[in-house]
Amino acid sequence: MIRLRLERRETAPAWLKLALAVGAILLTLLICSGLILLAGAPVFEAYGRLFLTPFSSRFDTVETAVKAAPLILTGLAVAVAFRAKFWNIGAEGQLLAGAMAAAFIGGRASLPDAALEPLMILSGAAAGAAWALLPAFLRTRYKVDDVVTTLLLNFVMFYGMTALLDGPWKDPLSGYPDSPDIRIEAEFPVLLRATRLHLGIVIALAAALVVWFVMNRTVLGFSIKAVGENPRAAAYAGIPIARVILTTAAISGALAGLAGVGEVGGVHFQVMAGLSPGYGYTGIVIAMLAALSPLGVVPAAVFFAVVITGAEGMSRATGVPVYLADVIQGVALICMLAALLFTHYRIRAVGRPAAPAIGAAPAPHRRVAEG
Amino acid sequence: MDEFLAQIFQVGFFAALIRIATPLILATIGELYAERSGVLNLGIEGTMLLGAMAGFSVGYFSGSLWLGVAAAMLAGMVMGLIMGLTTVTLGLSQHVSGIGVTLLATGLAFFFYRLIFGQPSVPPSVKPFQPVPLPLLSDIPVIGPVLFNQFALSYLALLLVPLTAFLLYRTPWGLALRTVGENPRAADAGGVNVATMRYQALVISGALMGAAGAFLSMAQFNAFTFGVVSGRGWVCIALVVFGMWSPWKSALGALLFGFIDALQLRLQAGGAFHLPYQVFLMMPFVLTIVAMAMVSRNARAPAALLVPFRKEER
């Protein structure tokens, strides 16, 4: 009798992770097609619009790339943090922190022109890092659960920001709760004439390379992974756990902060309540879809930039609510998480289960996961 | 100053406190069941939102608010089942599964609200639940109007606390649930089906989170808005820690949070200190973090929280 059994495996090849991500996305689209049918639209046309709108014109393609930049950065932020099992769900708040710092620096008349952009980038990264260090410190010092604090701090940052925008930081020339525009000299250079494609995408791609290097070629990266995989063993090996978690948080927050810098420097040129349509939360989905691999984050982010951009076109053409994009994110996260099981186990067909030695526990059979 | 305080602490203030605390008690007790069984249910925020949407929609079209509450609880139970599939059956990361369920439920709530109601210029609303004064009891001075002139769901939420304490600490089912959360291996050896217990806890937790959402959209407010939950679910996660996984203390935490929230509403309405209103909205979140920092060192979570149980592995 042929039986299937799952065996633990130590490492998974990269092609497997790619295949799993593709499989998870296909499964997600299959599940979500039910919603399209409920909305009374033809499935293939809706998906056609969803995935083709972003490539239907130069404008749409550029807009997709513009959206991909912050998504790459928040995806990296989450990927780094989750590697150390620092559960940073606060990329959204850290993004806003970075955006506020960049908008503040970018509006200073006293700074020399040439110093504006470097200072915006540095201060935005620093602000994001600081906002992420707070929950990391609370965890290492007071054992406060990082999931809860990073989530709550998102709200603290959002209300704090809108309080400033409604009060002392309100643009006197605008009727809306917006910050004053940054100086023209502080606006990020545009890469493609007459579009919004700005320096941010370069920063994001460079960040992906740097994070890949740090995670795979440095002691720090090794420590981050060790702390995440087995903190007890890491402690025995002499790795200072608390310091590694704080460093991870700072890197993660800085990356999310950079996402905010790009939105201010290249897209909005100011801070307002609707600055981020949930880029921080989408970053979690992206990081997981990339199986926490820094280079994998790039295509995963592009995929979700396509979905978010395409959802508008799909909604206009077929009447399917644009929020299908949000459902896709949730379903994709769960599907990918389930798919990742296959990186820990391999399915083996076995002729007959080995007879257990007398007195030993029954052979560890695990039913193949349903669905 | 005395006059200022007298103005704030009126009967209406304490009645508002209970009203604000009601959804928090429901969802916090719901989370408590899940965590006591060993599963952190981070689906809470999205489940509440989906409950608010499902409850409101069914209440709106059926004309029966209670049918809406039932629909909200049903939607919550479905989310609990999904959480069970990922964390119990598949043994996946509870953190990531929970965030996934929250994203999914949030997306579904937005999607179906837009599908059902379109984009009306005037958002649809229902005639919300009205307070039900309990005969005789509501005539007691001070206590009467505060405690006994509330929504039916508020009474149920308050009754849920002793009921949960009884179920957890005085019944075989409760003992089994707590053992599953503390030492699933021992529970399994004692003939308890760990997976079934966790599924039950997650379905109960989803139902209560759904009811909490229904309260928001049909009692506390009279319509569904995208921001109707806005972080309350995450606060409930903190309240369970703050309450040391005890139903009484967690509910007390919810009342304390209700106090802070009612206070910020009063200060906001009174135009005190001339601060932007967002500062007051921020206050409960800051205080929740401070409270977490104060208690977390001594908090002892159920020992098997976050640990998937695989019968075959040891």
> What is the pLDDT at residue B208?
98
Residue A204's CATH number: 1.10.3470
CA B63 from chain centre, in angstroms, equals 25
> What is the pLDDT at residue B313?
60
Maximum Cα interatomic distance, chain B, rounded to a whole number of Å: 67
Structure tokens at A306: 């396509």
Interface test with A, best of B95, B280, B290 (most A CBs within 10 A): B95
State the average pLDDT over residues A274-296. 95
**Contact B292/A324, CB-based, under 8 Å?**
no
Closest CA to A102 of A325, A347, A281, A268: A268
Confidence of residue A358 (pLDDT cuts 50, 70, 90): very low
Task: Residue window 89-128, chain B: list those with CB within 8 Å of chain A.
Answer: 89-90, 92-93, 95-97, 99-108, 110-111, 114-115
Closest CA to B197 of B231, B174, B163: B174
> What is the pLDDT at residue B144?
78
Domain count, chain A: 1
> What is the pLDDT at residue B4?
66
Structure tokens at A103: 């908008």
> What is the pLDDT at residue A285?
97
Structural domain range at position A242 = 46-321
Residue B279 domain-assigned?
A: no
Residue B32 domain-assigned?
A: yes
> What is the pLDDT at residue B271?
64
The answer to whether residues A323 and B114 touch, using CB atoms and an 8 Å cutoff, is yes
Interface test with B, best of A164, A279, A318, A326 (most B CBs within 10 A): A326
DSSP code, position A17:
H
Closest CA to B81 of A311, A162, A334: A334
Judged by a CB distance cut-off of 8 A, whether residue B314 touches chain A is yes
**Contact A152/B297, CB-based, under 8 Å?**
no
Residue A297 domain-assigned?
A: yes
A265-277 pLDDT per residue, tens: 999 999 999 999 9
> What is the pLDDT at residue B309?
87
pLDDT over threshold 70, residue A366: no
**Contact B107/A329, CB-based, under 8 Å?**
yes
Residue B9 domain-assigned?
A: no
State the average pLDDT over residues A20-44. 96
Walk along chain B (314 residues) in steps of 10 and give the mean pLDDT of each run: 67 87 98 97 97 98 97 98 96 95 98 94 92 84 80 95 98 97 94 96 98 97 94 94 94 93 82 77 90 85 88 62
- Helix intervals (H) in B148-193: 152-170, 172-182, 184-189
Residue A360 domain-assigned?
A: no
State the average pLDDT over residues A287-312. 96
Task: Report the sign of the C-alpha dihedral through residues B77, B245, B286, B306, in that order.
Answer: negative
Structural domain range at position B90 = 15-119+157-229
Closest CA to A252 of A136, A118, A101: A136
* B103 → closest Cβ in A148, A281, A370: A281
> What is the pLDDT at residue B7?
64
Q: What percent of chain A has pLDDT over 90?
A: 80
Q: Counting every residue, how long is chain A?
A: 371
CA–CA separation, B249 vs B246, rounded Å? 5
Q: What percent of chain A has pLDDT over 70?
A: 93
Of A10-19, A64-73, B220-229, the poorest mean pLDDT is in: A10-19
Q: What count of other Cβ atoms lies within 10 Å of the Cβ of residue B67?
A: 14
* A337 → closest Cβ in B97, B106, B107: B97
* B276 → closest Cβ in A89, A166, A328: A166
pLDDT over threshold 70, residue A303: yes
* A341 → closest Cβ in B90, B115, B314: B90
Task: Residue window 149-188, chain A: list those with CB within 8 Å of chain B.
Answer: 149, 151-153, 155-156, 159-160, 162-164, 166-167
The answer to whether residues B233 and B76 touch, using CB atoms and an 8 Å cutoff, is no
Which residues of chain B does A370 touch, with a Cβ-Cβ cutoff of 8 Å? 89
Domain count, chain B: 1
pLDDT over threshold 80, residue A11: no
Which residues of chain A does B277 touch, with a Cβ-Cβ cutoff of 8 Å? 163, 166
Residue B17: what residue type?
L
State the average pLDDT over residues A30-58. 95
Whole-complex ipTM = 0.93
* A89 → closest Cβ in B99, B277, B281: B99
- Angle at alpha carbon of residue B174, lines to B172 and B178, rounded to 5°: 120
Residue B91 domain-assigned?
A: yes
Q: A170-202 in b/e burial notation, b at 16+ Cβ within 10 A?
A: bbeeeeebbbbbbbeebbbeebeeeebbbbbbe
- Angle at alpha carbon of residue A145, lines to A141 and A147, rounded to 5°: 130
Per the model's pLDDT, the better-predicted residue between A8 and B180 turns out to be B180
B157-214 pLDDT per residue, tens: 999 999 999 999 999 999 999 999 999 999 999 999 999 999 999 999 999 999 999 9
Rg (CA), chain A: 23
Phi-psi region of A240 (alpha: psi -120 to 50; beta: other; left: phi over 0): beta
> What is the pLDDT at residue A352?
53
Closest CA to B206 of B62, B300, B71: B71
Identify any residues that bridge with A345 across adjacent strands, giving them in sequence order: A8
Q: What share of chain B is helix, strand, coil (3-state, %, to 5)?
A: 75, 0, 25
Rg (CA), chain B: 20
> What is the pLDDT at residue A176?
82
Minimal C-alpha gap between B87 and chain A (Å): 10
pLDDT over threshold 70, residue A190: yes
Which residues of chain A does B108 touch, with a Cβ-Cβ cutoff of 8 Å? 327, 330
Residue B270 domain-assigned?
A: no
Judged by a CB distance cut-off of 8 A, whether residue B79 touches chain A is no
Residue A22 domain-assigned?
A: no
Structure tokens at B70: 């039932």
Query: A with B: how many residue pairs have Cβ under 8 Å apart?
Result: 151
Which residues of chain A does B231 touch, with a Cβ-Cβ cutoff of 8 Å? 151-152, 155
Residue B59: what residue type?
G
Which residues of chain B does A82 touch, with a Cβ-Cβ cutoff of 8 Å? 96
Judged by a CB distance cut-off of 8 A, whether residue B298 touches chain A is no
> What is the pLDDT at residue A98?
98
